[in-house]
A and B are shown apart, each in its own frame.
Chain A
Amino acid sequence: MKFTSTHEWVNTSETPVVIGITHHAQSLLGDLVFIELPELGKEVKTGDELGVIESVKAASDFYAPIRGTVIAINEAVKANPELVNNDAEGAGWLLKIQASHPDDLEALLDATQYEKIIAEEH
């Protein structure tokens, strides 16, 4: 499992990689009510806006952690955004990207580095 400083997780043990927002992110956002996901086939560069996660209190953009093509989206979370609150790092996955540059995965944060970022937030 890898992470970004903007609170996305990337499961690099699968191909295409699976992406979601972290448990920490969902706890900051509170109850989620709408999730906007990208179109299938969309080509993205690192840092591009992928979609919007809207909780009762705020809308939050989420970003492409790597370069590639959107291959799959999780329809279940569109219908039931609370899946992301309940299981952000499992059933609450958001989409899958076919990485175009495998090196991008190395640049992601590991768990220890991500924990450090969360700790520094407080």
Chain B
Amino acid sequence: MIENTPLHAAHLASNAKIVAFHGWNMPLHYGSQIKEHETVRTQAGMFDVSHMTVIDILGAGGRQFLRKLITNDVDKLKHVGRALYTCLCNEHGGILDDLIVYQRSPDNYRLILNSSTRAHVLPWIHEKSAGFSTGIQERHELAMLAVQGPEAISRTLPLLTPAQADAVSTLAPFECVDVDDWFFARTGYTGEDGLEIVLPEDAITPFWNQLLDAGITPCGLAARDTLRLEAGLLLYGQDMDETTTPLHSGLSWTIAWEPHDRDFIGMTALLSQKHHGVEQKFVGLKLNEPGIMRTGQAVLVDGHPVGLITSGTYSPTLQCSIALARVSKKIGHDAHVEIRGKHLPVTVGKPRFVKHGAPI
């Protein structure tokens, strides 16, 4: 059964091309994905992200529960209103999801999870909470949108109430705040500055229309994908999944190894892998001639396959194809990718291509 987000009618009114996405009707684009991408890099664009799952972990035991559940350590969140990015792993260190955890108060954490993993991740979280003094509340009645770009915050502030504007204007990156029943976080999936806003369902359409009037461009899933790939942000289910660990995915930095006795789920397995050495690494590829790299294409060195592309696309900022790939750690600066039977030369570098709107 496919669902519509609260903004469905608004998308149709803006001429969205709608596609099915993990059980949701979502806007793929509103005319030109490249124009939407460029607008986010230079001004501000907005994304309907109501398909994502919002759950609140409540109660005195929530903090200790999260310290066990995820690879990153919420003890790092030194004050209220701070957030961190983390993996959620199984006992083998396999990645079940990636998510951001927002500390709203010492006994109130908000987790925003991928829509694609909801069916098995929610039961997992419930199961693992047994024994902790915590309650898990899924927030179905809330909707969510992201406003992203160098002008995202400046264009959004005038549309907020004075109390909201006041609070939002003091947010540093990766901070969050609740004002009345709206939740604001200075986070995103584009590599640009901006906000992710969780708000009551009935408030989202009027707010979207205000943002539209303020000149903020609606952006769809296609632009979301080219933006996140340029920024080196991973897509669960494509760049990593249960068969890969953070160590194979360029996500070692999301693991807090100390204190040793935190013993989060998967720690033992990950420590063992780290100790034995990981044979693969996660890299970025650039194709400097015409063609587009795509998921599943082989990466070769001297004619021998050394790995696979996990995500590939066209980069509007670099004006060439870019890709993320999982390859042998022995790879050097040059390789080839097999595209439609031909071996095309690529340069190998870090899995990130754009920073602050410009090529790295």
Contact = CB atoms under 8 A, between A and B. Distances in A.
B33 A30 contact: yes
B33 A54 contact: no
Contact of A54 (B32, B226, B290): B290
Given A56-B222, A56-B314, A59-B340, A34 B290 contact: yes
Contact of B222 (A30, A36, A59): A30
Contacts of A33: 34, 292, 314
B290 A36 contact: yes
A82 to B, nearest CB: 8
Contacts of B290: 34, 36, 54
Given A56-B222, A59-B340, A34 B32 contact: no
Interface string B146-177: 00000000000000000000000000000000
A77 to B, nearest CB: 13
A31 interface: yes
B117 interface: no
A111 B338 CA distance: 39
Contacts of A30: 29, 33, 222
Contact of B32 (A31, A36, A57, A59): A31
B296 interface: no
Interface residues of B, number: 12
Interface in A39-85: 54, 56-57, 59, 82, 85
Interface in B9-48: 29, 32-34
A36 B289 CA distance: 12
Contacts of A59: 292, 340
Nearest to A86: B32
B292 A56 contact: yes
B33 A34 contact: no
Given A30-B29, A30-B222, A34-B292, A56 B34 contact: yes
B313 interface: yes
Contacts of A56: 33-34, 222, 226, 292, 313-314
B126 to A, nearest CB: 37
B291 interface: yes
B291 A54 contact: yes
Most chain A CB inside 10 Å of its own CB: which residue of B29, B33, B34: B34
Given A30-B222, A33-B314, A54 B292 contact: yes
Interface in B286-308: 290-292
Contacts of A54: 290-292
Contacts of B33: 30-31, 56
Interface in B214-229: 222, 226
Most chain A CB inside 10 Å of its own CB: which residue of B32, B33, B292: B292
Nearest to A34: B290
Contacts of A85: 32
Interface in B29-85: 29, 32-34
Contacts of B313: 56
B35 to A, nearest CB: 8
A56 B315 CA distance: 9
Nearest to A61: B340
Most chain B CB inside 10 Å of its own CB: which residue of A33, A54, A56, A59: A56
Contacts of B340: 59
Interface in B171-230: 222, 226
B266 to A, nearest CB: 35
A85 B29 CA distance: 14
6 pairs of A and B residues whose beta carbons are closest in the complex = A34-B290, A31-B34, A56-B314, A33-B314, A31-B33, A31-B32
Given A34-B291, A54-B292, A82-B34, 7 more contacts: A33-B34, A33-B292, A54-B291, A56-B33, A56-B34, A56-B314, A59-B292
Interface of A: 30-31, 33-34, 36, 54, 56-57, 59, 82, 85
12 contacts: A31-B33, A31-B34, A33-B292, A33-B314, A34-B292, A54-B292, A56-B33, A56-B34, A56-B222, A56-B292, A57-B222, A59-B292
